Every structure is written in C-alpha cells, then in structure tokens.
Chain A
C-alpha cells in the first residue's frame, strides 16, 4: 500500500493472481515421484460470496458452466457447492485422479468468471487434494492474493503434520512458488474435497 493510500485510509482490494495455477499438473507428477502422493482428482475453489442478487447470478452461471462441461466430456461429476462455517463458498470439482489438467481448467474457469465480472478480490484460495498409500491426506493450497502455494496436511483432531508439510515444501520447491512466509500457511480444517 502506497503512502497516499495510507494517508487517505483507502485500501484497494487485492486482485488475484491466476496464472501460477497451471503449474499444478507438473507439480503433481513431481509429488508422486518424490513422496508417493497421488491426486484424488478433487479440487475446490473457495471464495467469499458477496451479498445481493448479482453475485448469486454469477455463481449460478459458474456452476452451470462446470456442470455442462462435466456432462459433455463424460469425465468428472457435477460440481458440489458447500458453504463452510465461516461463510465462505466452496465449489468442489471432482475428476478422475489422472485428470489433473481438466481439473485445473475447471478451477481456472471459476476464477476467470469471477474476475471478469469484477469480483476477483473475493477469491480466497484454491485447493487440490492428494493422498498416499497409507491414506495420509494432503492438500496443496493456492493463495490467490499472493500467487503462492503451500501444503496443508491435516491430522485427526485439528492438528497438522508439520513435518510432512515441510517435506513437501522441499520436494516442490522447483515446480511451484511456495509461500516463503510460514505464518501465511493458515489451516483450512474440514475443507470440502479434502
């Protein structure tokens, strides 16, 4: 924020960075090779719904767009929409585990629709789920406002497996921009699709 913005007490809503999302498919391959985690095929976009009909209409358009897509190609299930206890909306898109490309395309469609309609600042994060043979859960979370990823490995009882998260950071350092500030790795307990 610039000096003038501070002086006048105006914060400009932060616009999301979208392009880095496309690094996910190649990162998924690296992840599988280095640590045995495979994509579950589900991913979600989380955003803060704006009150009023306009935003509701756009949200409906996005869902129809993705559902239509799912029906045509035969891959993937219709999107699921859930609202979490914090009031954020999650659009969950489910694909087969080897369809990382189309999953990312779906997720990107949600972002770009929101951005095109002027609601880009409402995007919070996107999350792609992974699992290994011992059924350990892992998510790669993309922070729209920073354009960075971080790993999130929940354990039962709202604890997180920090060792695994740091190991993943090491493994993916070359493929993705990993969020360097560890305080920004906020937990997304009970995120749909994880």
Chain B
C-alpha cells in the first residue's frame, strides 16, 4: 500500500462513536422505562407505544424515501441538465470521477441566500442543489469546495444516518403528544381504570419529554460532527482546504445580512445546508446556544481545515 497523506481523524471518529453510543443508550433506557411504567401499574397501554413507534417509523421512512423530492420542493429548486449549467455539471463530473462516486442529479434553487445542500435516500437517488446566490458569490475553486463538501455528505450517507438517529426523538415527541391527548380524553372508559391510566399517561409524558430533550441535544451534536467530517473529506478530495475556508467565510459573512423573511422560509432545510441559514452564535465562542446548533462554529471548521492543510503539505508522509 502506498504511503498516504490522508490519515483518518481518530479524534473525530471517537467523539462520533461516543455520541452514537449515548443515543443508543438513551433509546434502551427509554424502552426500559416505558415497559417498567406499564408493568408497575399493571396496565396495557402498550397500544399507544406501538402506535407511536409505527407512526414515527412511518414518518421517518417517508421523509427519508422522499427526501430528495421534499427538499427540492421546499427550496423551490429545479434539476438542471448539463446543457443548462455546463460549468456546474463539469465540476460535479470531475469530483465524481475523482471520488469514484455515482453522479447525483444537479439542481439550482432560485434563492439569493448563498447555500447548498445534498439529499436523497441513497447515492443513486441523491440530488445536489446550489442556490443562485451561491453561484453568484463564489468563484470556481470555492464553489468546487462547497460541492465537494456536499458530495461527502452523500458518500457518508448522512441523510440516512441522521434519519435513523432522529427516529428516537420523533417517537418520543409523538408519545408526548399522544399521552397528552390520552390524559385529556382518556376518561371515557371504565371508572376504576381511570386513576391508573392517568398515572401511566403522566409518567409516559415526563419520560418522553426528558428523552426528547436529551436525544435532541445528542442529534445536534452528531450533526455537527458529520459536518466536520464532510468538511474534511471534501477538502481532501479537492486538495484545496483554503478554497473551502474562503467559501465558508464568504457564505457565513453574507448570511447575516439577509433579511429575516427569507430566513424563515429557508429554516426547515437547515440541517441539510452547507451553512445554517440562521446563525445562533455570533462570532463563535462557547455560547450555550451552540449545543442546539446543527453546524459547528466557523472557527471550529476553519481550525480543522488549517490542520488538513498542514497535513497535505508534509514533505514526507507517514
């Protein structure tokens, strides 16, 4: 095997594993608690749990299966042919050949917000979308950097991974809602059962709220690690970490000047975006709101790219 300058980042792998392990742990604890509650009260509120799991699973599966169509429709984007956008297709073609990947469909969204996203349930059905604002603001190498980042998301199957990771939060969220309505309308059945059912629903609601909150924070953490991983793979693919850096600075800089009406419209797509449309932290720093952010801070991303730049510049690789 040839020597390589492309060593994997062990720190990132360890942190990601830990996050996923914690998510799994929360899931197991959640199931155990629900079973425990039902057992203790000796009731069979199992139906509600099964319904929540089926419904949540169905929702997650649907959104995964139609992720490309949903995202394109939400962004108002249109798939373009190589004749319509030869430059863009040229960049994607070359990156696909370099990375030995299937070529995604290429779309352009008529938004002035400079951004890009890639989605789709698998590499065959993936679509890569850039906004008009991004095309207008970035030069060739910067655009290539952003596209390489998005293609890394496709290669890492991030849409799938994040869907599975959010499954727990979706189910927990549904249980809260169903338990709440159960509490309200549960009184219709037998009298002596009432007391028990009320306790079950209340307990379920509390457990679900806690699980929802914890898994929400963990999912966001995982999302930030996936972004860093995509930055990393993208920069290694093009060999130009600086171009990605300058794209990041440009995009984050002009992001804050966008009027709020645009932002609200774009908000649902945030998790897929190259840079979040809403920046919760200004100028980085350890703000507490950072833990709810889908993307790492600009400083963190640039710091990592600096490291890759040094790695690629080594005279004699390990």
Q: A residues touching B (Cβ–Cβ < 8 Å)? A: 1, 5-15, 48-55, 85-88, 115-122, 124-125, 143, 145-146, 158, 183-184, 186-187, 189
Chain A, interface SS category: loop
The interface residues of chain A lying within 8 Å CB-to-CB of B144 are 86-87
> Which of the segments B12-20, B113-121, B207-215, B253-261 contacts the partner chain?
B12-20
Given A6-B156, A13-B6, A124-B97, answer yes or no on A86-B239 (Cβ-Cβ < 8 Å). no
Q: When the two chains form their complex, are residues B97 and A54 in contact, meaning their CB atoms are under 8 A apart? A: no
Say yes or no for B238: interface residue by CB 8 A criterion: yes
With A6-B161, A184-B103 known, 19 other A-B pairs at CB within 8 A are A7-B16, A9-B226, A9-B233, A10-B9, A48-B239, A48-B240, A49-B239, A51-B239, A85-B87, A86-B94, A86-B140, A86-B144, A88-B94, A119-B5, A124-B98, A184-B96, A186-B103, A187-B90, A189-B86
- CB-CB contacts of B5-42 with A at 8 A, as 1s and 0s? 11011001100110010000000000000000000000
Q: Considering the chains assembled together, what is the distance between the CA atoms of A121 and B98 in angstroms?
A: 7
Say yes or no for B4: interface residue by CB 8 A criterion: yes
Given A50-B239, A50-B240, A187-B93, answer yes or no on A85-B140 (Cβ-Cβ < 8 Å). yes
The interface residues of chain A lying within 8 Å CB-to-CB of B158 are 9
Say yes or no for B67: interface residue by CB 8 A criterion: no
Residue of A nearest to B8 (CB): A10
The interface residues of chain A lying within 8 Å CB-to-CB of B152 are 9, 11
Q: When the two chains form their complex, are residues A14 and B100 in contact, meaning their CB atoms are under 8 A apart? A: yes
Say yes or no for B155: interface residue by CB 8 A criterion: yes
The interface residues of chain B lying within 8 Å CB-to-CB of A11 are 99, 152, 155-156, 233, 236-237
Residue of A nearest to B9 (CB): A10
Q: Considering the chains assembled together, what is the distance between the CA atoms of A120 and B94 in angstroms?
A: 15
Given A48-B238, A186-B93, answer yes or no on A12-B6 (Cβ-Cβ < 8 Å). yes
Q: When the two chains form their complex, are residues B13 and A6 in contact, meaning their CB atoms are under 8 A apart? A: no
9 examples of A-B residue contacts, CB within 8 angstroms: A8-B16, A10-B232, A48-B94, A48-B238, A48-B240, A51-B240, A51-B241, A52-B312, A122-B98
- CB-CB contacts of B250-281 with A at 8 A, as 1s and 0s? 00000000000000000000000000000000
Q: When the two chains form their complex, are residues B6 and A121 in contact, meaning their CB atoms are under 8 A apart? A: yes
Chain B, interface SS category: helix
Q: When the two chains form their complex, are residues B5 and A53 in contact, meaning their CB atoms are under 8 A apart? A: no
Given A48-B98, A186-B97, answer yes or no on A10-B229 (Cβ-Cβ < 8 Å). yes
Q: Considering the chains assembled together, what is the distance between the CA atoms of A14 and B13 in angstroms?
A: 19
Q: When the two chains form their complex, are residues A8 and B229 in contact, meaning their CB atoms are under 8 A apart? A: yes
Say yes or no for B315: interface residue by CB 8 A criterion: yes
Q: Considering the chains assembled together, what is the distance between the CA atoms of A158 and B233 in angstroms?
A: 32
Q: Considering the chains assembled together, what is the distance between the CA atoms of A149 and B224 in angstroms?
A: 39
Q: Considering the chains assembled together, what is the distance between the CA atoms of A122 and B3 in angstroms?
A: 14
Q: Considering the chains assembled together, what is the distance between the CA atoms of A19 and B280 in angstroms?
A: 52
Expressed in whole angstroms, the minimum distance between the Cβ of A68 and any Cβ of chain B is 23
Partner of B161, one of A7, A15, A115, A121: A7
Q: When the two chains form their complex, are residues A9 and B225 in contact, meaning their CB atoms are under 8 A apart? A: yes
Residue of A nearest to B86 (CB): A158
The interface residues of chain B lying within 8 Å CB-to-CB of A122 are 98, 239
Residue of B nearest to A145 (CB): B100
Expressed in whole angstroms, the minimum distance between the Cβ of B125 and any Cβ of chain A is 13
Q: When the two chains form their complex, are residues B141 and A87 in contact, meaning their CB atoms are under 8 A apart? A: yes
Q: Considering the chains assembled together, what is the distance between the CA atoms of A13 and B309 in angstroms?
A: 16
The interface residues of chain A lying within 8 Å CB-to-CB of B60 are none
Expressed in whole angstroms, the minimum distance between the Cβ of A52 and any Cβ of chain B is 4
The interface residues of chain B lying within 8 Å CB-to-CB of A183 are 102-103
Say yes or no for B317: interface residue by CB 8 A criterion: yes
Residue of A nearest to B226 (CB): A9
Given A8-B229, A9-B158, answer yes or no on A116-B13 (Cβ-Cβ < 8 Å). no
Partner of B13, one of A10, A52, A85: A10
Q: Considering the chains assembled together, what is the distance between the CA atoms of A8 and B94 in angstroms?
A: 25
Q: When the two chains form their complex, are residues B242 and A8 in contact, meaning their CB atoms are under 8 A apart? A: no
Task: Give residues of chain B (74-104) contacting chain A, Cβ–Cβ below 8 Å.
Answer: 82, 86-87, 90-91, 93-94, 96-100, 102-103
